[in-house]
Amino acid sequence: MASDVFFFIFAGFAIACAISMVYHKNPLYSAISLVGVFIALSCLYVTLAAPFIAAVQILIYAGAIMVLVVFVIMLLNLDEDRRDNRLGFLYALGGGLGLILLAQTFFVFYAVMRAPQQAVNTAETAGKTMSIGQAMYTEYLLPVEIVGILLLMAIIGGVVMSRRLNQEQIEAVVDKELELRGQDEDKDDYRIAF
Amino acid sequence: MEAVLKTAFPFIVFSAGILAAFQGVLMIVAYTVLAERKVLGWMQGRVGPNRVGPWGVLQPFADLFKFILKEDLIPDKSTKFVYFLAPLVALSCALLPIVVYPFGPRIADPLGWLVPYVADWPTLGPAVAWIAEQAINMPLTIARIDVGVLFVLGITSVGVFGIALAGWSSNSKYSLMGGLRSSAQMISYELAMGASVIGVVMLAGTLDLNGIIEAQIRSPFKWFIIPQFLGFVVFLIAAFAETNRVPFDLPEAETELVAGFHTEYSALKFALFFMAEYVNMFTVSVMCVTLFLGGWYVPGLGKILQPGSIPYALVSHVAFIGKICFFLFLYIWVRGTLPRFRFDQLMNFGWKFLLPLGIANIILTIVVVYFLNS
């Protein structure tokens, strides 16, 4: 009974935040709404007896990723999103994708309804940190390693892209660029780009 | 009527516990502010506040009333909603972790002594007997959850929003720079802090704060500060930076940024930020005590007093608060002693020294734990 009440409170909050995220013209308000969605979702995980997933949801999505998103919005000081009439075809595209998503949802419901009833995992350890850790490092070790390597690649890519070149490296890059173009243009124009 | 009361009983108990814990923490926080002014005064050859009440003990309440009575200014060009939201986010994220703090050991039978006195009373007698039965093995924690450490780290990391949004919504250059500096600093040092905690989690084998204390009692060292000294040092330094305190109080560098992210805040909204900062100090002190100094555990106390009895719990609780007060004093001591870092020094220190040190501690602990277990 009580868990039903909590489900409707948090689910309603999540949906309200999601709608507000899509409809706000100010990107910062959208970001704050998205944080609200994440917090409501993690509350739902808690009611589903998955405290580890809930804590990780808050720690990673609300606490780390969204802080970076808010940072970018603050630093770029984006203006309010102006509606652009040239992109009208996107409405049709969005509507089509929405219909596909809805169909997928119904398909999943249908499949779940048709599937044979499975025993619910009522073990004391279900959803606890230790059982998740054991599953991750025994049964699902390969996916965990693959995800780890993907994240490492992303980190290295970020470091490479954001590193500053020194004067000699800039000269080398500019010379190479001019050589490729085969034109005698002003070097300074290119130097500014780096 | 009786059935309704019995169903509502857990909620009443939780509400009362939360109210008591919040009130207690806020009182400690209020007197931390007074202690800070007093101790800093003595360190600088002054007296400190001594006019409101004997020895200045009523100063925190006088400050609070002044905050309430001041005019609440809202900058004309600010983003009103976010400007209003930011201090609320900061304070609620600072207060939320209180629900998982391990304030003391379990009490075996806290109300059993009361039952014989009221046994003859018509309705109160059975009610008290029932409540005493419910209270058997009462923990001195509001909610014992499996992921206590992650909960505290997660909620405090959401607290960065309060500062970042405050800096942005004030629409002032000082506030924006202060907010950006402060949130960049908190994000950077959060990593070192998380890395330093992992060593303790590996030794304890659990993320539950009470479980970590129990693991420390079982271990031969009694306090994890001995096997995890490197982690303790990293955690302590990261804690100073997390709470934006001296020597890492860049966001509030008065000479260059006026008051940082809260330049434009006045009256009660400023008081909320002020309280959030001191509650955060309390939080990291609790984490430090729980993870590295055995929490409420006093070595040898079990030989004098019966574990599970009320005096044992009381002495343990006082020891817990005493250990926290030591760290709060350490904050004030450091503030009276050290100068401030430069911003680039701060970032270099966090990313190039403290984080590698934390990761080295993890690897060291992995190797030691592996060889001890095999």
The shortest C-alpha distance from A171 to chain B (Å) reads 27
Chain A residues within an 8 Å CB radius of B176: 74
Q: Rounded to whole angstroms, what are the CA distances from B28 to A101, B91, B278?
A: 52, 15, 9
The radius of gyration computed from the CA coordinates of chain B, to the nearest angstrom, equals 23
Chain A residues within an 8 Å CB radius of B85 = 32
Put simply, whether A6 touches B (Cβ < 8 Å) is: no
Report the domain count for chain B.
Answer: 1
Query: Cα–Cα distance between A25 and A40 in angstroms, integer?
Result: 22
First to last CA, chain A: 62
The answer to whether A51 contacts B147, with C-beta atoms less than 8 Å apart, is: yes
In A48-88, DSSP assigns E strands to none
B351 domain residue, yes or no: yes
Is there a contact between A129 and B206 if contact means CB atoms under 8 Å apart? yes
Among B150, B157, B168, select the one facing A74 at the smallest CB separation.
B168
* Chain A residues near residue B153 by CB distance under 8 angstroms: 59, 63
> Is A115 inside a domain boundary?
no
Q: Report if residue A1 sits inside a domain.
A: yes
- Chosen for mutation from A47, A128, A129, A137 (greatest number of chain B CBs closer than 10 Å) is A129
Q: Give the one of B85, B145, B161 whose C-beta lies nearest to A51's C-beta.
A: B145
* Chains A–B, number of C-beta pairs less than 8 Å apart: 75
Domain that holds residue A49: 1-79
Give domain status of residue A14, yes or no: yes
Domain count, chain A: 1
Query: Could you tell me if residue B36 is inside a domain?
Result: no
Sign of CA dihedral A131, A134, A140, A142: positive
Residue at A35 is within a domain:
yes
Q: What is the CATH number of the domain that holds A63?
A: 1.20.120.1200
Phi, psi of B107 (to 5 degrees): -105, 125
CB contact under 8 A, B176 and A74: yes
Q: Say if B147 is an interface residue toward chain A (CB within 8 Å).
A: yes
Structural domain boundaries enclosing B185: 74-105+140-373
A173 touches chain B (CB under 8 A): no
Residue A41 near residue A13 (C-beta atoms within 8 A): no
As beta bridge partners, residue B138 has: B107
* Predicted structure pTM score: 0.83
Runs of H (alpha helix) within chain B: 2-43, 59-69, 80-95, 115-118, 124-134, 148-158, 160-169, 173-204, 209-218, 229-242, 254-257, 267-292, 301-304, 310-335, 343-348, 355-373
Contact B34, B60 (CB under 8 A): yes
Ordered per-residue pLDDT tens for chain B, 374 residues: 777 877 788 888 888 888 998 899 889 988 998 888 889 888 888 888 888 888 888 888 888 888 888 888 888 777 788 888 889 988 999 898 988 888 888 887 777 777 777 777 777 777 777 888 777 777 888 888 888 898 998 888 888 888 888 888 887 878 888 888 887 888 888 888 989 999 899 888 888 888 888 888 888 888 888 888 899 999 999 998 888 787 877 766 666 667 777 777 878 888 888 888 899 999 999 999 999 988 888 887 878 887 878 888 888 889 999 999 999 999 999 988 888 877 788 888 888 899 999 999 999 999 988 888 87
Tell me the shortest Cα–Cα distance from B185 to chain A, in angstroms. 12
Q: Min CA distance, A125 vs chain B (Å)?
A: 10
| A91 in a structural domain | no
Residue at B347 is within a domain? yes
Residue A89 lies inside a defined structural domain of this protein? no
Q: Is there a domain that residue A106 lies in?
A: no
Is the ipTM higher than 0.85? The answer is: no
